[in-house]
């Protein structure tokens, strides 16, 4: 069964969707921005997705409310640029809800 790249990434994000923030007691939009960037560059995501991402850059979310979504971008090990949407899904938890190659 051949799985295209976007589908493979969606499956990987479904399998590895939650990450607990490892920041100090106070949580701010800036914490979610940096933790999203760290997660996209993490070895955990590399193992799950099969791609290593670098140069991750996330927008700072407008709030820290559950359900808030924000955009991120990163470059994979083949040099392709990706765009991601990350959602705040709980207290100190993130979910990557989508990821796609943009060039």
* pLDDT by 10s per residue, the chain, length 103: 344 455 445 544 543 454 444 444 557 889 999 999 999 999 988 888 888 999 999 999 999 999 999 999 999 999 999 999 999 998 888 889 999 999 7
On the CB side of 88, how many CA atoms lie within 13 Å of its CA?
22
How do the domains of the chain map onto residue ranges? Answer: 5-101
Q: What is the pLDDT of residue 23?
A: 40
Residues 73 and 83 sit within 8 Å (Cβ to Cβ): yes
The phi, psi pair for 63, rounded to 5°, reads -150, 180
Q: Please tell me whether residue 93 adopts helix, strand or coil conformation.
A: strand
Three-state SS letters, 32-73: HHHHHHHHHCCHHHHHHHCCCEEEEEECCCCCCCCCCEEEEE
């Amino acid at each position: 069964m051949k799985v295209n790249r976007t589908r493979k990434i969606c499956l990987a994000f479904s399998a590895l969707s939650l990450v607990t923030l490892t920041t100090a007691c106070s949580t701010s939009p800036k914490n979610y921005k940096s933790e999203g960037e760290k997660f996209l560059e993490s070895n955990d995501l590399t193992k799950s997705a099969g791609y290593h991402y670098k140069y991750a850059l996330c927008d700072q979310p407008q709030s820290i409310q559950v359900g808030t979504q924000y955009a991120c971008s990163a470059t994979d090990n083949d040099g392709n640029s990706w765009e991601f949407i990350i959602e705040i899904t709980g207290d100190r938890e993130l979910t990557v809800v989508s990821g796609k190659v943009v060039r």
